[in-house]
Structure 1
């Protein structure tokens, strides 16, 4: 029951994912960070099969770093999104990755931007969007409450509404979510929304 969503506000973009790692009917952990920091000003929220998700997001991160190392300039967010789409499209004809993602970034001349990218290499620039089972419920909330050039506080209010709706509606709802932001100051973790704390050892008697 994975969920990833994001939105663009006034000078920033947010990406939010659940943090549950699940195998069949077993919850393996509830603090699995699914948002990869691609570089200083880019984020990729990625969901899907665990092996594909981790391998593909690390592959993209390392190749973006390699481009910067070779050429001395970083890829723009649009270029990084198109590179990622191309890699998915190539893999689609060989050994497809079962991954869906939201890519967010901030560029000096463009500002914040957000891209939707699914496992069949569909790329689209958005101001708000989501993927996964939770998107069936949160997209309508975004249509109702999203405003262009929202402040961070207003955006967090909308994020909390979306998280509450996912928790209320999904029969197996993820308990924890991580929220990351990218703006002129870089990409970083903004907040966590937790209802379950990860156990550090065996339960006490």
Structure 2
């Protein structure tokens, strides 16, 4: 029951994701961070098969770093999103990655941007987006309450409303969420919204 969603505000972008690692009917952990910091001013949130999600996002992160190392300049958010789409498209007919991505970034020239990339390698620049079962509620709330130029406080209030709705409506709802933000000051963790803590292994 994965849920990732994000939006663009006034010179910033926010991405939130559930932190549950599940397989079938089992919850393995409730503090899995599904939002990776790509570089100083980019975030990539991913949902999908756990192996594909971790392997592919790490692959993109290392290649973005390699480009900056070789060329002395970082990729723009648009360039990183197009590179990611290209890698998904290349893999699509060989060994596809079952992973859906929201990529957020901040560039001096263009400001904050958010890109929607799905597992069949379609790419769209959006102002708001979501994946997973929680997207039904995230998208409906954002359609109603989102507006251009939102402040950080307004965006966080909307994110919190979405989290409450997901917890209330999904029959198997993820209890914990992580929220990250990217703006002119860089990409960073903003907050966690936790309703349960991971218990230690019995007898450990």
TM-score normalised to structure 2 length: 0.98
Report what 1:106 is aligned to: 106
Report what 1:122 is aligned to: 122
Q: In the alignment, is residue 32 of structure 1 matched against residue 32 of structure 2?
A: yes
Deviations 1:4-47 (A, max 9, x none): 10000111000100000001100000000000100000000011
Report what 2:172 is aligned to: 172
Report what 1:184 is aligned to: 184
Report what 1:87 is aligned to: 87
Structure 2, unpaired ranges of 5+: none
Number of matched residues? 204
Distance 1:168 1:124 in 2: 30
CA drift at 1:138: 1.4
Distance 1:201 1:99 in 2: 29
Structure 1, unpaired ranges of 5+: none
SS of corresponding position for 1:84: helix
CA drift at 1:202: 2.9
CA drift at 1:184: 0.5
Give the root-mean-square deviation of aligned CA atoms. Answer: 1.1
SS of corresponding position for 1:167: helix
Q: In the alignment, is residue 153 of structure 1 matched against residue 153 of structure 2?
A: yes
SS of corresponding position for 2:129: strand
Q: In the alignment, is residue 69 of structure 1 matched against residue 69 of structure 2?
A: yes
